[in-house]
């Protein structure tokens, strides 16, 4: 028989206020709201199967989010899901350009090109 899993009680009144406020929010990322609702429903005594049915997700998802909250607290419970890592190609090119130093003065201080006074086409 699976072990019953419930969210730990709030550490303090501030944590409880934050989670309840987030659970009822309308202008926050949907995954944060859903995770906060999972915790609040768990505090109300609902089992993972009932929470999953109410929120329209899988029971394992509810278990994982509650376990994460129990071990790491609210900031980690709001962590986004891992996805494709960002590329560092642009950062690497920028760092290489900074390491190379300023451009050659002879190249940057040369004569102006283009149309100006006294120039003909």
How do the pLDDT tens digits run along the chain, 121 residues long? 567 899 999 989 999 999 999 999 999 999 899 999 999 999 999 999 999 999 999 999 999 999 999 998 876 555 555 666 656 666 666 666 667 666 655 555 555 566 666 656 5
Question: In this structure, how many other beta carbons lie within 10 angstroms of the beta carbon of residue 39?
Answer: 27
**Structural tokens at position 71:** 């071990």
**Structural tokens at position 30:** 């949907």
Confidence (pLDDT) at 16:
93
Rounded to the nearest 10°, the torsion over CA 15, 4, 77, 50 is -90
Residue 77 φ then ψ, to 5°? -70, -25
Full-model pTM:
0.62
Confidence (pLDDT) at 70:
93
Distance CA 79, CA 81 (A): 7
Q: Do residues 5 and 66 touch, judged by C-beta distance below 8 A?
A: yes
Q: Do residues 66 and 39 touch, judged by C-beta distance below 8 A?
A: yes
Confidence (pLDDT) at 93:
65
By the 10 Å C-beta count (0-12 exposed, 13-18 middle, 19+ buried), 95 is classed as exposed
């Amino acid at each position: 028989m699976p072990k019953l899993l419930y969210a730990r009680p709030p550490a303090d009144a501030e944590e409880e206020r934050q989670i309840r406020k987030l659970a009822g929010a309308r202008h926050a990322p949907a995954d944060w709201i859903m995770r906060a609702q999972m915790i609040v429903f768990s505090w109300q005594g609902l089992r993972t199967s009932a929470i999953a049915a109410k929120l329209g997700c899988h029971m394992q998802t509810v278990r994982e989010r509650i376990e994460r909250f129990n071990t790491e607290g609210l900031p980690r419970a709001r962590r986004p899901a891992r996805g494709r890592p960002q590329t560092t190609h642009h950062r690497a090119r920028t760092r290489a350009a900074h390491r190379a130093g300023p451009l050659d003065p002879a190249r940057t201080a040369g004569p102006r090109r283009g149309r100006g006074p006294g120039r003909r086409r």
